[in-house]
Amino acid sequence: AAITEGLSRVRIGKDAVSRVAQRLEEELSAWRGRPLELAYPYLYLDAAYFKVNWGGRVVDLALLVAVGVNAEGYREVLVVEPAGGERKEAWRNLLKGLVERGLRGVRLVISDDHPSIRQAVMAELPGASWQRCVVHFMRNVLAHVPQSERGVVAEELQEVFVARRRGTAESLARGFVER
């Protein structure tokens, strides 16, 4: 009550807070378990890390995220799941849960170059191909470039990825590697 009064000048009792929290928990649980009715030919997998207070200690908590892209090209967050890290078992469990909810039609999984993701994809989505995320690839390349050159190198590398024709992209890539 003191917190809500301090934030909004409205005093909300603990019973009201408990009812709101219960309703939010129900909605979140329904969202987490909702059936996946569409096919998602493309699936993006990534993790974000946050410092959290866990049992009186500050630890890193990974939030594993899967975003599906449907046949019309619309993106949808399919799952956000906490994990102790990016172990193969965590990614396998995430993918198993998606398959149990109806995930189908995945042709390509896009992620960073984390081996545990690739292993989980091979085990749980055997018909899907895997591709390294362009953004992660560019970050990895630019990490090896002096700060003073990063702008120019980033522009040249970006040209490779936005080329409309394969031959053009391959030619630009060869030129980039030579430079």
- Which tokens sit at 134? 């362009």
| pLDDT computed for residue 69 by the predictor | 98
My answer on whether 174 and 154 are in the same domain is: yes
Residues 118 and 40 in one domain: yes
- Indicate yes or no: pTM above 0.95: no
Two structure tokens written together for 80 = 């956000």
CATH code at position 87: 3.30.420.10
**Same domain assignment for residues 21 and 47:** no
Among 113, 131, 149, where does a domain finish? Answer: 131
Number of domains in the chain: 3
Same domain assignment for residues 90 and 120? yes
Looking at residue 167, its pLDDT comes to 95
Q: Are residues 171 and 145 located together in one domain of the fold?
A: yes
Instruction: Give the number of other Cβ atoms within 10 Å of residue 177's Cβ.
Output: 8
Is the per-residue pLDDT at 25 higher than 90? Answer: yes
Q: Quick one: pLDDT band at residue 164, thresholds 50, 70, 90?
A: very high
Same domain, 100 and 83: yes
- HSE on the CB side for 15, CA within 13 Å? 0
Q: For position 107, what pLDDT does the model report?
A: 97
Average pLDDT over residues 133-137: 90
What is the rounded radius of gyration, in angstroms, for the C-alpha atoms of the chain? 22
- The 10s digit of each residue's pLDDT in 79-106 is 999 998 889 999 999 999 999 999 999 9
Whether 62 and 18 share a structural domain: no
Q: What is the predicted pLDDT for the residue at 1?
A: 72
Asked whether 63 and 46 are in contact (CB, 8 A), the reply is: no
Clarify whether residues 99 and 140 are in a common domain.
Answer: no
Average pLDDT over the chain, rounded to an integer = 92
% residues pLDDT > 90 (the chain): 75
Mean pLDDT of 55-76: 94
Residue 10 has pLDDT above 90, yes or no: no
What domain range is 43 assigned to?
A: 36-131
The pLDDT of residue 111 is 96
Q: Is residue 34 scored above 90 in pLDDT?
A: yes
Average pLDDT on 7-36 reads 88
Shared domain check, 101 and 163: no
Same domain? For 18 and 91 the reply is no
Do 50 and 85 lie in a common domain? yes
